[in-house]
Amino acid sequence: MNIIETNKLRKVFNVRQGKNGGDQTIEAVKGIDLQVRTGEIFGFLGPNGAGKTTTLRMLSTLIPPTDGQATIAGHDLLRNPKQVREVIGYVSQVGGVDVTATGRENLLLQAQLCGMARHEAEQRTNELLVALDLTSFADRVAKTYSGGQRRRLDLALGMVHRPRLLFLDEPTTGLDPQSRARLWDEVRRLRSEGTTIFLTTHYLEEADILADRLAIMDHGEIVAEGTPKQLKQQIAGDVISLGLETQNGAAQHAHNLLNEQPYVREIHPSDGLFQLYVEHGEETLPAVLRLLDGAGLSVRTVSLSRPTLDDVFLRRTGRSLRESIE
């Protein structure tokens, strides 16, 4: 059973240019088909500007799509936005904490806006304060919270009305590793309680570790979709990363040389660094080193790894996600 189904969902923005530039249109989301299954953690991975947030905002009724349809928990996104809002929670990139109020006041207000009576709202607030370990500072103004504390309050605010589907836009951006791991635990716990989670991220590790299934998005299109394992398996073999001295056309020389070897399936050079996709990396590596050494090319660094989601991204887009972010 799919909790989200989209059919050619598309968003075009009109961007006003300078005085005589006229209007320009930007196709932020280029007609995507997406299925998110009930009860899973679905990751949406891609660089900034890929269209992740735009998609999320369409699905959470904040902006209308230009074209296409979507159903969320059986409700039509365009015809029944109100019913959609009742089953979804949304935590935006910037969160949504009112920093002039205390954590408790934030939660109480949100609960009551979601239709709970006062005592019910109080009960739910206490539940969430305990669940997300916010109790010890619940009555302090949110201005004084640390990044991790604030993010947990964001999460609590998104969960107030026990949504069946929770959208999290870049939930761990800017958090230290410890707070991030903690948020991951919360997200997993939510899933174990039956909530479907749709999160966007540009962290490869996050998508890999946290998501049950994921879609990789780039330039408004979905370029790959599947479980992290499936996606990585599409890149059979191992990855050898080589750092070479690149003076006097050595890079080109090395490229040509490596390209001729039967065991090299693919090469992605970038700036003195070569990514070689090979079979049986352990056995191939010594051969590669001997080859380069024999040709008088000096190797500065070398590493051998299993393919990561970045390799999947690289394969599909010709760019490294890690570099797209930096």
Partner 1 sequence: MTFLRHTQLIFMRNVRRTLREPAWIMIGMFQPVLYLLLFAPLLDNLVLPGYGDTSSLNIFVPGLLVMIALFGLGFAGFGILDDLRNGVIERFRVTSASRLALLLGMILHDVVVFLLQCAVLVVVATLMGFRADIVGLVVLFGLLALVGLMVAAFSYALGLIFRDESSLAASLSTLTLPLLLLSGVLLPLSLAPELLQTIADFNPFLHIVEAARALIHGDMGHNSIAIAYGVVFVMMLLTMQWAISLFRRATA
Binding pattern to partner 1, positions 151-190, x when CB under 8 A? ------x---x-----------------------------
Task: List strand residue ranges (DSSP E) for the chain, in order.
Answer: 2-16, 23-37, 41-45, 67-72, 75-76, 88-91, 165-169, 196-201, 213-218, 221-226, 238-244, 264-270, 273-278, 299-305
Residue 64 CA to residue 298 CA, distance in Å, equals: 56
Assess 313 for contact with partner 1 (CB under 8 A). Answer: no
Q: Min. distance of Cβ 223 from partner 1 in angstroms?
A: 26
Q: Are 168 and 195 in contact (CB under 8 A)?
A: no
Tokens matching residue 224: 């790959």
- Binding residues among 224-243 for partner 1 as defined by CB under 8 A: none
Q: Does 291 bind partner 1 (CB under 8 A)?
A: no
C-beta of 118 vs 300, nearer to partner 1? 118
Rounded CA-CA distance 292/290 in Å is: 6
Q: At 54, which helix (H) or strand (E)?
A: helix 52-59
CB of 93 to partner 1, least distance (A): 8
Of these, 43, 46, 47, 95, which contacts partner 1 (CB under 8 A)? 95
| Interface residue with partner 1, options 114, 250, 273, 289 (CB under 8 A) | 114
Q: Nearest approach, Cβ of 83 to partner 1 (angstroms)?
A: 9
Q: How far is the CB of 51 from partner 1 (least distance, A)?
A: 15
Identify the sign of the CA torsion 225, 51, 157, 121.
negative
Selected binder of partner 1 within 17, 25, 79, 94 (CB under 8 A) = 94
Q: Binding string, 118-147, against partner 1, x = CB under 8 A?
A: -----------------------x------
Does 112 bind partner 1 (CB under 8 A)? Our answer is yes
Tracing tokens 């107030």 back to the chain, one arrives at 160
Q: How many CB atoms lie within 10 A of CB 34?
A: 20
Q: Does 105 bind partner 1 (CB under 8 A)?
A: yes
Indicate whether 100 belongs to the interface with partner 1 (CB under 8 A): yes
CA dihedral 173, 174, 178, 184 (to 10 degrees): -10
Nearest to partner 1 of 90, 277 (CB atom): 90
* Distance between CA atoms of residues 209 and 205, nearest Å: 6
**Contacting residues toward partner 1, per CB under 8 A:** 57, 60-63, 82, 85-86, 88-90, 92-101, 105, 109-110, 112-115, 141, 157, 161
